[in-house]
Structure 1
Amino acid sequence: MELFAPPDVPEIRAGDDLAALVDERVELRADDVLCVASTVVSKAEGRTVDLDDVTAGDRARAIADRLERVTGDAKDPRFAQVVLDESADLVMEAPFILSQTHFGHVTVNAGIDRSNVPEADLLLLPEDPSGSARRLHEELGVPVVVTDTCGRPFRHGQRGVTIGWAGMPASRDWRGETDRDGRELGVTVESVVDELAAAANLLTGEGDGGTPFVVVRGFEFGEHGGSDNLFREYDDDLIRQALQEWEFPG
């Protein structure tokens, strides 16, 4: 298996045809998976916000005031309002906002970005990342993974994760198969789309590289069962339940 980033990708703007941009730069093969940074998907779909167009409500102002007290840094209540608008639920309000997006991803500040947005204040995540992946998959004929980066509980640093996918299962389901000693596996479900996203993030990077597309060539899913369960439901997420019951002392 190998990974490479198609070169010379221009700044993406609303309305740009991402499939055509990829098609112009690489001849995709049947054994390819295309990983696409959510940043360019959002830009092409016009998912930008100017703070001058936002009016903060009472809850947003209360959250911003609390965060300012906790962190000692000024917080813009308009930003908090955009996070609320992009969230189906808040898991935590302090010492930072941890939210569930409308499509199920749990991340800081609903994944809203301030970097690499030359023509607006904020860049939102795609409204429906799997829908975006599906459209690209239908146009390009290969599996597509839409990636983002986020932090990890219990570890420092960020890594690439998948927020949308199409053309392949999200996970390999090893349950019912056996290890080398013949013991049956009972719980192992491997999130291959997250693993592909993390590998692709080694090439896309986090700064000004301008490499939002990564082709994974030669990946084989193998003879395994597949699963599309990626985001945990609330009743099955013990960590989320505990965080929502916890109150930050500040």
Structure 2
Amino acid sequence: MSGPAASYRVWAPDGVPEVHPGDDLAELIAAAEPGLADGDVVLLTSKVVSKAEGRVIAARDREAAIDAETVRVVARRGELRIVENRQGLVMAAAGVDASNTPAGTVLLLPEDSDASARTVRAGLRKALGVDVGVIVTDTFGRPWRNGLTDVAIGAAGVRVLDDLRGGTDPHGNALAATITATADELAAAGDLVKGKATGRPVAVVRGLAHVVAHDDADGARALVRDAAEDMFRLGASEAVREAVTQRRTVREFTDEPVDPGTVRRAVAAAVTAPAPHHTTPWRFVLLESAQSRVRLLDAMRDAWIADLRRDGKSEESITKRIRRGDVLRRAPYLVVPCLVMDGSHHYGDERRDGAEREMFVVATGAGVQNFLVALAGEGLGSAWVSSTMFCRDVVREVLALPSDWDPMGAVAVGRAAGPPKPRGPRDAAEFVTVR
């Protein structure tokens, strides 16, 4: 590829009509911009390609459409999913788009955007006799960067990458790792004039003929990093450590409601904890209505006050203690984890039966810790409070739980009202004994 041009021009022609399934995009573009010349680069949004190729489907449930297009979930926060889709692209929602399409439908990305670009390029050559490059674009977010930008997801007749390795900069320094994503830079330039809601889905770049290849060249697939070279493809251990570090006891919550699906995903993580004898000792009672939370907490408060009075505590002392427990009332969502002993062994020996129960308690604690860490990974704050363990009969009665379910505290869940206080330093060596 020769050196860059000193200037170029980019514009978005008017006159491209609404696209329908079966439309010939090359003919529509040629009619809207008959003055295309050799060396131009035509950029068109993936939405019009999807419409022309009939990638519009009826989908009341957008999440189901995303599921169908997803190969691998890379990251998730609440309802937002960053996934690898069937085209190999890592992006939000698998590229499934509910905008610029009739209500009740969604747009899927083209099956093969490189093939789509080749078809449009060949059509423009036939219609206008010109040799142009074609890029299909879509809007992406980027890791570590705010905002969206258009990138190339399909290309034909464009040198999508400019490999500068082996050359030198103006100071004579060797360029050892510089590969420019030319097609992405062109896509972003085109988006500046196309916009997102202007009804101009096509842009033309003129003056950069050196990026246009005489053949179809490598498609945009060349921009997708191979799995073996992707340092951030897995990141599981880093993600787990981050979630564990971010798990903090939160005592003040905002009023923002908690997505029940988020809690259920955290429960799914909780029940992967180890347990004795291949058992499943965890049960999670989700208090999603304000009525259920108030009814339980009122009953627990009454039981707690009765206990404290029996202990001879003063009314002032009781009031202070009750106030400390109000974190559960300030949360928009409560979860009561319970222990069940299904599958436990009975030895008829106090020592061994006691150890058996301790094994199940430890397994339940592991499940609760998984649950708290998973909530932190979803961006939710939590506070585990032991109070239900002191009035199990009351909790079972109010929540209509089986007699063999033992409440193991309660977890307040919600969005933290503010940043946590700095955690005091802890030297791991102080907690380690080596033999």
Report the TM-score when normalising by structure 1: 0.82
Match of 1:88 among 68, 71, 78: 71
Match of 1:112 among 83, 93, 96: 96
Q: Identify the residue that residue 207 of structure 2 maps to in structure 1.
A: 218
Q: Deviations over 1:160-186 (max 9, x none)?
A: 111010112211000011111222211
Q: Identify the residue that residue 246 of structure 1 maps to in structure 2.
A: 239
Q: Identify the residue that residue 50 of structure 2 maps to in structure 1.
A: 42
Structure with bigger gyration radius? 2
Structure 2 unaligned residues grouped into runs of 5+: 1-7, 126-131, 212-216, 244-373, 376-435
* Equivalent residue pairs, number: 222
Q: One-letter code of the match for 1:160?
A: D
The structure in which a higher percent of residues are helix is 2
Alignment pair present for 1:151 and 2:141: yes
Q: One-letter code of the match for 1:110?
A: A
Match of 1:24 among 31, 40, 49: 31
Matches for 1:163-242 after TM superposition, within 5 Å: 163-207=153-197, 209-221=198-210, 229-242=222-235
**Structure 2 SS opposite 1:138:** helix
Q: Deviations over 1:5-50 (max 9, x none)?
A: 1112211111111100011121210020000000100011111121
Structure 1 distance, partners of 2:237, 2:59, is 28
The runs of at least 4 aligned residues of structure 1 exceeding 3 Å deviation read none
How far does residue 148 in structure 1 lie from its aligned partner after superposition? 0.6
How far does residue 242 in structure 1 lie from its aligned partner after superposition? 1.2
**Alpha carbons 1:133, 1:145 under 8 Å: kept:** yes
Going from structure 1 to structure 2, the CA distance change for 1:18 and 1:144 (only over 3 Å counts) comes to same
**Structure 1 SS opposite 2:77:** coil
**Alpha carbons 1:91, 1:243 under 8 Å: kept:** no
Q: Identify the residue that residue 11 of structure 1 maps to in structure 2.
A: 18
Structure 1 distance, partners of 2:27, 2:153, is 22
Structure 2 distance, partners of 1:13, 1:243, is 43
Q: CA RMSD in A?
A: 2.1
Q: One-letter code of the match for 1:24?
A: A
Alignment pair present for 1:102 and 2:109: no
Going from structure 1 to structure 2, the CA distance change for 1:243 and 1:191 (only over 3 Å counts) comes to farther
Q: One-letter code of the match for 2:164?
A: W
Q: Identify the residue that residue 140 of structure 1 maps to in structure 2.
A: 124
Q: One-letter code of the match for 1:194?
A: D
**Structure 2 SS opposite 1:239:** coil
How far does residue 158 in structure 1 lie from its aligned partner after superposition? 0.4
**Alpha carbons 1:91, 1:99 under 8 Å: kept:** yes
Going from structure 1 to structure 2, the CA distance change for 1:194 and 1:167 (only over 3 Å counts) comes to same
Structure 1 distance, partners of 2:110, 2:84, is 14
Structure 2 distance, partners of 1:19, 1:163, is 18
Structure 1 unaligned residues grouped into runs of 5+: 53-77
Structure 1 distance, partners of 2:170, 2:26, is 43
Alignment pair present for 1:122 and 2:115: no
Structure 1 distance, partners of 2:12, 2:103, is 25
Structure 2 distance, partners of 1:244, 1:33, is 43
Structure 1 distance, partners of 2:186, 2:237, is 30
Going from structure 1 to structure 2, the CA distance change for 1:47 and 1:244 (only over 3 Å counts) comes to farther
Going from structure 1 to structure 2, the CA distance change for 1:127 and 1:6 (only over 3 Å counts) comes to same
**Alpha carbons 2:137, 2:187 under 8 Å: kept:** yes
Q: Deviations over 1:190-235 (max 9, x none)?
A: 000000000001111112x11001010111436xxx9763001122
Report the TM-score when normalising by structure 2: 0.48
Q: One-letter code of the match for 2:14?
A: P
Going from structure 1 to structure 2, the CA distance change for 1:186 and 1:234 (only over 3 Å counts) comes to same
Structure 1 distance, partners of 2:162, 2:218, is 7
